[in-house]
Amino acid sequence: MYLWIVRHAIAIDRDDPECPADPDRELTPRGRQRMEREARGFAGLGIAPERIVSSPLVRAFQTAEVIAQVLRHPEVEITPTLVGDEDPRALIAELSRSPNEDTLLCGHAPQVDALIAHICRAPEPFTRLKKGGVAALECPAGIEGPGSLLWLQTPKQLRGRAGD
């Protein structure tokens, strides 16, 4: 099983006086535009998830929708276990109830980094995904792990792969 973990794209700044409540923070126009290019870079890597699963928070769901559109994936599933402060074990337990399908997860820091560490059996997080960044993991025995980190791509690297 392959697992791609994506941190949501650039959203409205919390300090912006127009900023809505945290769950409703949307991607900025710049964040959406960059994510479209990053998703094209993603496609150039040959990434083809069987499932795309997102946090219910607007900025993560919008990020997952952009990726799904570019990859021509039919739907984005939502799970509350991808909200930033959830224990990664809850997400793993939920996802392990279905077949070990290649899955793309879209969530928030610090949970995305904690999830990578948990799957890789590291004692503490060793990555710091940037907004729009992605980690690729291989999990031969399924999402329960152990898994191996195959690569990390920054948003800039992904945009560079977009070819435009």
Q: Which of 97, 27, 32, 101 is nearest to 69 (CA)?
A: 32
Is a pLDDT exceeding 90 seen at residue 84?
Answer: no
Residue 98: phi and psi, rounded to 5, are -110, 170
Q: What is the pTM of this model?
A: 0.93
- Domain limits for position 91: 2-161
Least confident of 65-69, 79-83, 127-131, 159-163: 159-163
Which bin fits 14, alpha (ψ -120 to 50), beta or left (φ > 0)?
alpha
Residue the block writes with tokens 């952009």 = 66
> Could you give the number of structural domains in the chain?
1
Q: Which tens digit of pLDDT belongs to each residue from 34-47?
A: 999 999 998 888 88
CATH number where 69 lies: 3.40.50.1240
